[in-house]
Structure 1
Amino acid sequence: MGARIEELDRLDGYTYLTVPERPTYLAIMRLFAGSLMTDLSAQEVADALNGNGEQLTVDTAADRLGRLVSWGNLLPSSHAVRVKSIAEYHRARSRYQLSPLGERIQRQVDEMLASADSAREISRELLGLVAAGLARVAEQVERPGGPDPAQTRDVVVTAFAQFWQFRDSVRDFYAYLGQVLARYDLDAGEYAGFKNLLLDYVESITEEVVLLAPRIERDLDRIWPQLPALLARIDADGDGLVSAAEAVGVTVQRTRGREVADWEALRAWFRDTDGRRSEVGQLRDATLRALQSLLANAKRMIRSSGHGVSRRRDLLRLAGWLDGADADTAADLFTAAFGLYGARHVGIAGDPEAVVPATESWWPAPAVTVPVSLRERGNRAPRGRPTGVVDRSEQQAMLLAEAAATQRARVTAAGELLSAAADLSAVRLSASAMSLLLELLARALGAGDPAFGSAVTLSMDLGLRCEVVGKPGATLVLRSASGDFTADGLSIRLAPVEATGDG
């Protein structure tokens, strides 16, 4: 766990690339990495950066250098400095130099910034040199007396340096290729260029690897049984820095090819090991995926009749215009491109029962339903042809027939009431006659008060007159099929309208 924590602590060296002041930190690190074993003071750093257009005070430079020391990128320098005055001593007393970690990180940063957007050419000729070097090593380990340590060491180190450069160039190129083929805005010219790149360049690389990989595998099989003895013999001939470093307890990163792990990584590149697919197999798979992506782009171009479905190029052009425009022009460009105008009052009333104070923000306020025409087209005008007048003659005929049937039933009920007008209590009325009688009774009581005389109502369409007369102590009982009706102190008189002379 302790080693794990130390590894994570080393990552603090990348902190200066993530802080807001990274341009200043990057300029300081490039100043230290510009020459070997440079030690500088805060005054010298400020003078050098100010001469290049930076605005940096000595106090700010001292703060930046202190932070780089805390992150592990710089180290306090112990070099003696000759000064001629106390003021010069104060300016030069704190001096700094580049740490090994800081130097490596800055070198990686400069390499990445210099080639991040470019396609790296694959050094395919190096693979042939690697195959030739491994063949020489295989011959030397099999000859009587064993290999010559000095010659074998030179061949091994050279072969591994060539192989690692070839491997890194392959990885960089295929990463760039995957980035390009993931685009969906390739026009006809770009498509033709990348098609030739895949069919010619990538195919030639794949053929080179496929041709030389079996030879390298055979030579590695010849070397492998003798590998421990070979490395021991090379180390015995001269350990270089390793022997001197062991005396002072310093860890040395050895040249590639001097450790068994380097050979295992080389072998895994050409052969499947421990269930892991070899890099050669992955290279073939990556080439196949690239060809499939190219075919997908071709299908997309055919379906869209030469017009790409992606707006990436248009959006990049618009971004360039916005970046170079002032605030007002940028607002006009954005409005013209996306049609996002300011908020407008559309005059739609909200729910009258919902009480919303004037101070309420529109964000949490209840929403108002907007008609579809206004929401989608920005106006209330109807679109399309107006609908025709609906033919309702059938419904009208049906309603007229129902009304006529109802009127006939009322006429029949009126005739039944007139026939029993002499003594309504002596007969049993039908339901319709009882309903009509109660209707006339209610209308008569609404027209007058029987306690002060009589209450009269007329039904001209039925030719019927109804009079309600007050009769204290009497009880009126009306019987019908739908139920009985009882009223105290009342008497009902029914007669035809013509017979009464009312008109």
Structure 2
Amino acid sequence: MSEEGHGETTTNEPPKGGTGQRPRPDRYRTLAHLSTENALLYRAVMGVFVRAKAEFSVHLRPEDVQAGLPEHDRPPVESVTTALDRLTDWGNLRADPDTGRVTAVEDFYRRRHIYQLTHAGEAAEEALTAYDEALGRRGELQAVALADITTQLRALLTLAGRRRPDPAAAHLTLLTLVDRFSGLAENARAFMNSLQRTVDLHDAEVEVFLAYKQRLIEYLERFIEDLVTRGAEIAGLLEELGAPDGHVAPLLRLAAEREAADAAPDQAAGALEAAQERWAGRWEGLRAWFVSVPGRSSQAKLLRSAARQAVPQLLSVVRALNDRRAGRSDRSADFRELARWFAQAPEDDDRHRLWRAAFGLHSARHLTIDQDSLDRQEAAPPTAGTPWHEAPGVTISPQLRRTGSYERRGRARAVQDRGEAKAYLAELAAKQAGQTAAARARLATRGEVRLSDLGELDPDAFRFFLQLLGDALAARHRDTDSVTATTNDGTMQIRLTQLPGPPATAELRTPDGVFRGPDHLVEITDLAPEGSTP
């Protein structure tokens, strides 16, 4: 609408009609001030009203609004009054007669108003504030949140072990757990998005980026270390609490009953079932974030992998910046320099020559002519408007005239039989699958055994054992005596438990040598279905 919309009636009632009806065209008039010439002034004026409402001030006069604007860029009161009138026309503000300062009869005939926020104007400001916050949010990797989640899970484990857990304590613990987990997940997502934008920087100042890079890499390494240790501990606690129908089920039911007790009368019928379903979904989401299952890695493992991949990407950006600072040329710099040459070329003919020299893309050449024809064309070049029947002739190869091609066509190459190669690849794949299956069967302990009792291992089994042992040691926390880890594909699980008493040394013999280390109790379980090939 035009900004000269004075005198129009503004309503803030919601549009009538149910779902499916088109909204009225004036429903979003409260956002019209964003695309006008004085948008910055309108936003500043609305900011004054928002701050005044937070301080419990409802009505403002033009002088009050002017005093609330920044002092270094404060417009005259006439401009503020005009802005207030426009915002009133758009439905952001409501104007009421100002009778508080009337002292004479002639004051009633003067145009005086006080202004306040409308419901639609307040909703528009809330939406714009949320939009600005979302754009400016950078996110962070919260290592403290991992410690808080561990603490809350331990508290839940204690409550689950009681015969009659306190409903209030269970509900508050679950609410705190969900709040910390939601903040961790949302901040991690925002941080990884902002990190990718940082990696994609091409025009950053070299010194600033290099200083920021070092702090960022240290930050990532510290969080990865915390995620490895805390993540394994959290996954173990979640396994002890189980699925929504496991040990944690009574606590989830208590939280759902407390929430259902506060439901409105018209929603009390299905409030308990809805609350139980909501809490079950939250718990499943928490488990999926930290616990891997066969065929699906946890979100914590994916986040750890993405954070690790960001480090070499940052280093590659640093190398590119160093190359640029050292004077080396990259493709993007070449294209920018070429674009500058195109812009500085005096005529189109020069630009065409530059194009052909840079890219080597010429018009199609279907004919090959001899030197005599070239000499005649250079002596008397035909113009672009010369009809083809008046242009000088071209001497072509007799073979081109007879066959339409310069190439001599011979017999087509025989189709090569690759059956033997395919059979060899199938045999090799079957052999490797058999070796893997044998290694898995060799390592499965069917109970706890000492490392020193595993006996001699062949190279395939020993290599697989080192991978399992590395996963267990990476997930182990210094304060725990036992740790459980699963391979990336979720098919093998290892449980490593420290032996009581003085430390002993285990020796594993292989054809390549002897592997020595502290002796532990180890239990290796094959999680793959019977007869499956990983």
What is the TM-score normalised by the length of structure 2?
A: 0.45
Q: Looking at both structures, which has the greater relative contact order when contacts are Cα pairs under 8 Å and sequence separation is at least 6?
A: 2
What is the TM-score normalised by the length of structure 1?
A: 0.48
Task: Kindly name which structure, 1 or 2, has the bigger radius of gyration based on alpha carbons.
Answer: 1
